[in-house]
Amino acid sequence: MQKELNWKRFNIKITLEEDLHSGTGTGGGGGIDAVQMTDREGRPVIRNSHFKGLLRDAAQELVYFGQIKKEEKIRLFGGRINDENGDNTIHRGKFVSTSFNIKNQKYPILWTSTAREPFSRTPLDDTLRTVEYVPAGSGFEGELELREPDLSDVLEKCLKHIDQLGSNRNRGDGLLKIDWDVKEENEIENTVTDLSPPTSNDTQLRLILRNKTPLCLPKTGFPGNILPTERFLRGQVVMGAFASWALDCLPDAEHQSLNFLFDRKIKFGNGYPLPKFKNDLVKNPEIKMWDIVPFPLHIQTKKIAKIDKVKEKETEPAILINQIWWAKQQKKDLLFGKSDEHADRFMPCDCEAQYKRSKGDVYLFRCSETEPWFQYTPEIAVHMRNQVPNRDNPDGSLFSDEEIVENTDFLIDIDFHGNEDHAKKFLHLFKNVLNGKTWLRIGRGGRPVEVVRAVWIEGKKDSKTIVGYPGSITVTLESDLIARSPQNFGFYNSLDPRMLAELVGIIDEENQFSSLPKNTYSYCDHEEIRGFNAASGLPRTPVLAIRRGSAIHIQSNESNCEQVRSLCEKLCTTEHLGERTWEGFGRFRLNFDPLKTNREFFTKNPKWKCEYLVESNSEHCPDVSFIENREILLKDAKSIANQLPTPDEGGPNISQWRYAQEQIRLAKDVNSIQEIFNRLTEHEKKRAGKCWESKIKNGQEILAFLKKEFGNRKEKYQEDIETIRFLFDSVIRWHVVVIKEETDQEKTHVEQ
């Protein structure tokens, strides 16, 4: 039976009827012990992995009660099933969903609770816990795509079975209402409407892909507590995503026509992440001129000079901060090359300075050849997760995923090498993907990735063309390079002239290239390349590759001039190097010098500023003025707290201070803090067993002292609510620590 070329899209709306906490597993600032999961913009979100887990649990219950069949559950969510031949095969789930974003955001609320001592109403020490909640009445929306429409009834039964989300569901939290509507294939709008049929001049298809949920692309086969992720989409991953979509959604009769996708004549490049734009420049017609490359390893940054240590007690906070190396780093601009901060290590530079390579995956981007290069790092988040206990692992396990944040754009080129028939066939088979009507599944869990832009281009301008012989050559890897030695078939882990000669086909029978390393400088790194086949459930054999950004500089002289010239000529006519070039490996550039390009540009345009990119730090560097201000506030808070009495001296206890602290944290302006002190003064209802003024020995004097200090700081800090709130929150936090220390000392004394 052939599968029809159709699928269904579900628009799902979730309305909270009770407060919801879908947490991150971590605490936050301001004394919050468990914070709500948020997206990259700080808005509450319900992760698709959490929603999928609830759907799976609902399906399991429906199977138990006979409402659906076990085979239907496996077809929907994936798993092992016996096929017609009796073979136990792996089936991938037939639906993929986005995360659910909040639509009518309300101010989050905090719930504070504590445990009690057995057979008593007395709060148990050190059990006070504050949790952040999304208030009832909030609404979330998301989408779900079903690859087998005949499972619609099964999916709808599972949706009807879900009535709660998040934590503490057994106590009534997270109660919700789910509504949905179904869109057929012809009702789904196109996100790409300007893709024309290819012509004889169209040799490459340029795509911009956008992940609709955070994306984890595991880069190791032996993860620890944190599963690291790749920062970009490898060509092999994108090619596999297209093939997986075709097997899921195309009719069986079309599967034979997919052979051209695997005959290694179509080459998928790597999808490198784009920087964050102020506006939606993805729709810009100049996308054909965009260029993006990994940051070269030979361009390095000066290290900060070593600073003598100072004694904190003898130094003012502002002076102390200026002595800390990480606080001295100023905020980095997206542009590089405007100052002498960077240096090309292949060129003569400051001999006394120390240099360091760029950390992590840093990229360079420019919109056209007439603009400078921009340096940036894609945004990465860590998602803490807890594996559900099962028969093999009854206790479960806590682990974390590194993830590329949602709505990150990736630029990728697919090269058809002038084969117009292959280009037309690709457009015909994957028309719905290229139009954005359906999603690709990429990464761990098959996260949805959509095409937001697709254009035909004539191909990149040949960056390897060199006018005249320059006397030296620099080879910079644009992607990872997989190459083996012909002698022992071992993987190369660095660049050298003899290896390059082998890869371009130069037969070095007389070992002429053995003398070149004397005039060679290289900055290289290597890493393992791994992969996973979701259809078979088996990993790919790992290989060793020379890392993208690695570079080698070969300087010629009278003795090796001819060898360097012949190597240069061969490299100019070679498109890719090494193995698996159809998966994006082996791209390189000759004499690529972005630092020189930027310096020449800023010499001519010293006042030029970028108007379309969001400034961010290529390496996280704290703001010096912010740190100085916080250090001064903490010192001021300590001086105020030292004047407050402990409970043994007639002051409030910890619970009473915590109540005041919670009220201060919720204050929205300076006048609200003033009202808090007034309420505590006039309060007649008991709080934590005692009233502030009438039941505390020195309650009236303490409140008068706090009002006086508040009035002084209100004028000093110009009624800045953030500063004043942080100050008095720190006062209470410091004083609570003092009270706890005294209590512990008393307990120790009694026990002795």
What confidence tens digit (pLDDT) does each residue in 532-584 have? Answer: 776 666 788 899 999 999 999 988 777 778 888 888 888 888 989 999 999 99
Q: Are 169 and 160 in contact (CB under 8 A)?
A: no
- Give ∠ CA 301-307-312 in degrees, rounded to 5: 135
Q: Are 269 and 413 in contact (CB under 8 A)?
A: yes
Q: b vs e for 166-198, b when ≥16 Cβ sit within 10 Å of the residue's Cβ? A: bbbeeeebbbbebebeeeebeebeeebeebeeb
Question: Quick check: is 405 in a domain?
Answer: yes
The segment with the largest mean pLDDT, out of 72-81, 169-178, 610-619, is 169-178
pLDDT reading at 469 higher than 60: no
Task: Give residue 338's identity as a one-letter amino acid code.
Answer: K
pLDDT reading at 313 higher than 50: no
Q: At what angle do helices 670-682 and 721-751 cross, to 10 degrees?
A: 40
Q: Which residues contact 651 (CB under 8 A, 6 or more apart)?
A: 644, 645, 696, 697, 698, 702
Q: How many residues are present in the chain? A: 752
Q: Which residues contact 351 (CB under 8 A, 6 or more apart)?
A: none
Q: Are 137 and 175 in contact (CB under 8 A)?
A: no
pLDDT attached to residue 464 = 55
Q: Are 109 and 130 in contact (CB under 8 A)?
A: no
Torsions phi, psi of 76, nearest 5?
-80, -45
In this structure, the answer to whether residues 432 and 580 fall within a common structural domain is: no
Q: How much is the average pLDDT of 463-482?
A: 75
In this structure, the answer to whether residues 435 and 554 fall within a common structural domain is: no
Q: In the numeric block, which tokens belong to residue 659?
A: 């109540």
Question: Quick check: is 584 in a domain?
Answer: yes
Residue-wise pLDDT for 420-453, tens only, equals 888 889 998 898 899 888 999 999 888 999 999 9
Q: In the numeric block, which tokens belong to residue 141?
A: 């929306």
Q: How much is the average pLDDT of 87-94?
A: 73
Using the structure block, give the residue that is written with the tokens 């006048």. Answer: 671
Separation between Cα atoms, residue 270 and residue 582, nearest integer Å: 10
Residue 532's Cβ-side half-sphere holds a number of Cα atoms within 13 Å equal to 13
Separation between Cα atoms, residue 547 and residue 528, nearest integer Å: 9
- Displacement of CA 617 from its chain's centroid (Å): 15
In this structure, the answer to whether residues 231 and 261 fall within a common structural domain is: yes
Residue-wise pLDDT for 272-292, tens only, equals 999 988 777 666 767 888 999
pLDDT attached to residue 388 = 65
In this structure, the answer to whether residues 497 and 442 fall within a common structural domain is: no
Mean pLDDT of the chain: 80
Pairing between β-strand 342-344 and β-strand 299-302 as defined by DSSP bridges:
antiparallel
pLDDT reading at 9 higher than 80: yes
Separation between Cα atoms, residue 152 and residue 180, nearest integer Å: 12
Question: Quick check: is 574 in a domain?
Answer: yes
pLDDT attached to residue 689 = 45
Separation between Cα atoms, residue 170 and residue 283, nearest integer Å: 47
In this structure, the answer to whether residues 518 and 650 fall within a common structural domain is: no
Of 688, 636, 638, 694, nearest to 662 by C-alpha is 688
pLDDT reading at 619 higher than 50: no
245 compared with 31, residue with greater pLDDT: 245
How many domains would you assign to the chain? 4
Q: How much is the average pLDDT of 68-88?
A: 78
Of 601, 704, 725, nearest to 662 by C-alpha is 725
- Give ∠ CA 206-208-210 in degrees, rounded to 5: 160
Per the DSSP assignment, residues forming a β-bridge with 575 are: none
pLDDT reading at 102 higher than 60: yes
Q: Which residues contact 182 (CB under 8 A, 6 or more apart)?
A: 8, 9, 10, 11, 152
For residue 505, the domain's CATH number is 3.30.70.1900
Separation between Cα atoms, residue 144 and residue 55, nearest integer Å: 12
Q: Are 474 and 593 in contact (CB under 8 A)?
A: yes
Task: Give residue 164's identity as a one-letter amino acid code.
Answer: Q
Torsions phi, psi of 159, nearest 5?
-65, -40
- What is the Cα gyration radius of the chain? 31
Pairing between β-strand 380-387 and β-strand 204-211 as defined by DSSP bridges:
unpaired
- Give ∠ CA 21-23-28 in degrees, rounded to 5: 110
Q: In the numeric block, which tokens belong to residue 699?
A: 């309650």
In this structure, the answer to whether residues 630 and 565 fall within a common structural domain is: no
In this structure, the answer to whether residues 44 and 159 fall within a common structural domain is: yes
Of 525, 504, 499, 492, nearest to 298 by C-alpha is 525
Separation between Cα atoms, residue 721 and residue 705, nearest integer Å: 20
Cα diameter, the chain: 100
In this structure, the answer to whether residues 580 and 527 fall within a common structural domain is: yes
For residue 442, the domain's CATH number is 3.30.70.2660
Separation between Cα atoms, residue 189 and residue 436, nearest integer Å: 8
Report percent pLDDT > 70 for the chain: 80
Separation between Cα atoms, residue 542 and residue 527, nearest integer Å: 10
pLDDT reading at 86 higher than 70: no
Residue finishing a domain among 573, 591, 609: 591
Containing domain of residue 633, as a range? Answer: 624-751
Alpha-carbon separation of residue 176 from 48, 61, 105, 169 (angstroms): 16, 19, 16, 11
Residue-wise pLDDT for 215-265, tens only, equals 999 888 777 788 899 999 999 999 999 998 988 888 877 777 788 888 888
Question: Quick check: is 134 in a domain?
Answer: yes
- Give ∠ CA 61-66-67 in degrees, rounded to 5: 80
Question: Quick check: is 736 in a domain?
Answer: yes
86 compared with 105, residue with greater pLDDT: 105
pLDDT attached to residue 525 = 92
- Using DSSP's 3-state secondary structure scheme, residue 127 falls into coil
Torsions phi, psi of 105, nearest 5?
-65, 135
Separation between Cα atoms, residue 237 and residue 217, nearest integer Å: 9
Q: How much is the average pLDDT of 513-540?
A: 76
pLDDT reading at 719 higher than 80: no
In this structure, the answer to whether residues 525 and 453 fall within a common structural domain is: no
pLDDT reading at 30 higher than 70: no
pLDDT attached to residue 296 = 93
pLDDT reading at 715 higher than 80: no
In this structure, the answer to whether residues 120 and 158 fall within a common structural domain is: yes
Question: Quick check: is 603 in a domain?
Answer: no
Residue-wise pLDDT for 391-430, tens only, equals 666 666 778 889 999 999 999 999 988 888 888 899 988 9
Residue finishing a domain among 397, 425, 457: 457
Using the structure block, give the residue that is written with the tokens 């709060």. Answer: 123
Query: What HEC string does 445-513 produce?
Result: CCEEEEEEEEEEECCCCCCCCCCCCCCEEEEEECCCECCECCCCCCECCCCCHHHHHHHCCCCCCCCHH
pLDDT attached to residue 253 = 72
Q: Are 244 and 438 in contact (CB under 8 A)?
A: no
Q: How much is the average pLDDT of 719-732?
A: 82
Residue-wise pLDDT for 318-363, tens only, equals 444 444 444 444 444 456 666 677 888 888 766 667 778 877 789 9
Torsions phi, psi of 440, nearest 5?
-90, 155
Question: Quick check: is 605 in a domain?
Answer: no
Q: How much is the average pLDDT of 453-482?
A: 74
Of 306, 333, 331, 324, nearest to 628 by C-alpha is 324
pLDDT reading at 513 higher than 70: no
In this structure, the answer to whether residues 631 and 557 fall within a common structural domain is: no
Kindly write down the DSSP assignment for every residue of 264-308, as one continuous string.
Answer: S-SEEPPBEEPPPBSS-GGG-GGGGG-EEEEPPTTEEEEPPPP--
Residue finishing a domain among 457, 487, 521: 457
Residue-wise pLDDT for 123-177, tens only, equals 887 788 888 899 999 999 999 999 888 899 999 999 999 999 988 888 889 999 9
pLDDT attached to residue 683 = 52
pLDDT attached to residue 622 = 46
Report percent pLDDT > 90 for the chain: 26
In this structure, the answer to whether residues 209 and 176 fall within a common structural domain is: no
Separation between Cα atoms, residue 366 and residue 574, nearest integer Å: 25
Q: How much is the average pLDDT of 486-493?
A: 89
Residue-wise pLDDT for 639-696, tens only, equals 888 888 888 887 788 877 877 887 787 777 778 777 777 777 655 444 444 455 544 5
Separation between Cα atoms, residue 546 and residue 487, nearest integer Å: 18
Question: Quick check: is 167 in a domain?
Answer: yes
